Amino acid sequence: MLRSAQHDILWALRFINIEENHMSNLFVRKATGLVRSWSVMDAFVYAFFSINLITLGLYSFSQMYYFEGGMINALIISAVFIFFEVIVYAGLIAVMPRSGGDYVWQSRILGGAVGFILAVTGWWFILWLWVPLYGDMFRHIVVVPLLAVLGAQDVALWFAGTQDGAFTASLLTLAIVSIFIALGMKTYARIQKFSFYGGMVGLLIVIALLLTGSPEAFQSGLDANATSLFGAPAGVYESTITLGTDAGAITPFSGGALAAIFLVIPYMVFFNLWPNWGATLYGEVRGATDFKRNVSGMGWALAGTTVLGIVLLTAISKTIGWDFYVQAGAAWWNYAWGYVAEVPALPVWPYPALLAAFLTSNKILQFIVVALMSLWWFGWSGTVFLSSTRVIFAAAFDRLLPEKVAEVNESTGTPVNALLMMVVPSIFIAYMFNYNVANFQSLTLASTLVIAVTFLGTTISAIVLPYVKPGLYNASPIAKYKVLGLPLITVAGLIFGGFLVFLLYQWIFDPNALYGIGISNTSSIIYMLSMYVLAAVIYFGFKSYRKRGGIDMDKVQAEIPVE
């Protein structure tokens, strides 16, 4: 009996060695080398910052001045649909908690070509376009307010109103983000957690200032501070109303016909479509196979952000005045987008936290407010590259990119070469955007459209998962969740997929001429299509190259890598 047991053990060890050699031959190495250094709380904070109310939210709201549907209505309705996205991604994470997220799921369920082309375009190439957007928010939310309060008026106005200032902000963004990500997941978790708590304190102060202030005090504070901090002429408040009205500012706080509200949503989701942004990182999150915890982390981030958005917009409406807030955004963007040549009366972006700080004449309190609120940007900044590096890494681990890209720094666990593949091209894209070469700034919403296409690919993967991979699905913790006998992940996928199709139709065909990135914008179409072509060339080029080396990429992408 002892000899028989020894024989069985030897055969088992031999089988394990065969499997290890098989996996090693398929992938760059036996395991990814990435470490599960994040808790579910860390993943929640990342999701919360990914749908950042202060950066993406206020930036988007200020641009949405020409709609007839209510802002609050669009915020709530979009959040309801996006919750089904949370279910889809939480389910896929529980089934396959792997670094690379969308790429791994799509390539294993829909096929290698689909997975690579959609994920690489949506998580790698299009994220280059986000760098100047992050840089734009960096100058408006961090640099300009802090410099102004410190009395550096000329430098603040240089950053706020010049192309050189905007490009410099993009380069600073690249430097800050690169350092944060290079430090590793564990250190970045500490940075975002500190930013989360500090930023929340700042937001509470802003809301308190707005709720205890009055419209009269705001008008007086705005006129005084706009002149002292930015050298604006007298009467900024009244001049802004005139400029905003002339620009077509009409968006209501709430209300409007249902059809009009739904037309606001394709712009709203530039801000809140992203509670799943950390999905590519869940190979490095402890407890990622727990479906309920995944839903809780992303779901509470979505719900909390939505509630805070309602509270903040209500506070803005009370003291700043809703009409003035919309008019101020219209006045700024009408100038920034080149519709008028004259600098607006308020020569900086109308940042609500800075406007709230004008309710006090205490310069120390003003500085504390804008400094704490700047943490919303710092805690969020790493999202521009962190998720993307894991998609690039996963593709390289599958041998679809040079193997050097799959290398991981031993001390930090960071795929440094994957990070460089984000940073270097972003410099060129930031230059194109900030100097508006070939009308490049009109591509802003394309940054959302391309990622939504990637999300649609993942959503289709979720819908068909129980049917094309029944063994994998039935062995997973989500198999027990049903709706009328149908898999929950399939039902959620159908709802969210329908929502994405609506968004894509509005963006691409743009029947009401509201978004400017569809077939009517030649630059947008050429840019997006070129990204997909580039991804296809890389995929089929590397597949052919690996085949000549004796590696079958179809077999590689049929296996799930070991973390």
Residues ≥6 apart with Cβ < 8 Å to 190: none
**pLDDT for res 456:** 98
Check residue 32 and give its pLDDT: 54
Q: What is the DSSP string of 272-289?
A: HS-TTGGGGGGGGBTTTT
Helices (H), 436-521: 446-468, 470-474, 488-509
33 Cβ partners below 8 Å, 6+ apart? 408, 413
Q: Is 483 helix (H, G, I), strand (E, B) or coil?
A: strand
At 250 the pLDDT is 98
Give the pLDDT confidence score for residue 2 in this predicted structure: 42
| Residue whose C-alpha is closest to residue 184's, from 39, 343, 382 | 382
Residues with Cβ within 8 Å of 522's Cβ and at least 6 positions away in sequence, in order, are none
Name every residue whose Cβ is closer than 8 Å to that of residue 134 and which is 6 or more positions away in sequence.
55, 170, 173, 177, 381, 384
Q: What is the pLDDT of residue 444?
A: 78
Q: What is the pLDDT along the chain (563 residues), one digit of tens a residue?
A: 444 444 443 333 343 343 444 444 565 545 454 667 798 899 999 999 999 999 999 999 999 999 999 999 999 999 999 999 999 999 999 999 988 999 999 999 999 999 999 999 999 999 999 999 999 999 999 999 999 999 999 999 999 999 999 999 999 999 999 999 999 999 999 999 999 999 999 999 999 999 999 999 999 999 999 999 999 999 999 999 999 999 999 999 999 999 999 999 999 999 999 999 999 999 888 888 899 999 999 999 999 999 999 999 999 999 999 999 999 999 999 999 999 999 999 999 999 999 999 999 999 999 999 999 999 999 999 999 999 999 999 999 999 999 999 899 988 989 999 999 999 999 999 999 999 998 888 887 788 999 999 999 999 999 999 999 999 999 999 999 999 999 999 999 999 999 999 999 999 999 999 998 889 888 888 899 999 999 999 999 999 999 999 999 888 888 877 66
d(CA 368, CA 337): 31
Q: Which pair of structure tokens corresponds to residue 538?
A: 């890389």
Tokens for 456, please give them: 């649609």
User: To 10 degrees, the CA torsion angle through 378, 383, 389, 394?
Assistant: 140
Q: Does the pTM of the predicted model rise above 0.95?
A: no
d(CA 26, CA 23): 5
Phi-psi region of 562 (alpha: psi -120 to 50; beta: other; left: phi over 0): beta
Main-chain dihedrals φ then ψ at residue 127, nearest 5 degrees: -70, -20
Domains and CATH numbers, the chain: 39-556 (1.20.1740.10)
329 residue type, one letter: G
Residue type, 215: P
pLDDT number for residue 559? 82
Let me know if 327 is exposed, middle or buried by CB neighbors in 10 A (0-12, 13-18, 19+): buried
- Radius of gyration, CA atoms only, the chain: 25
Q: Are 291 and 481 in contact (CB under 8 A)?
A: yes
Residue 66's pLDDT is: 98
Write the single-letter amino acid at 3. Answer: R
Q: What are phi and psi of 38, to 5 degrees?
A: -105, 145
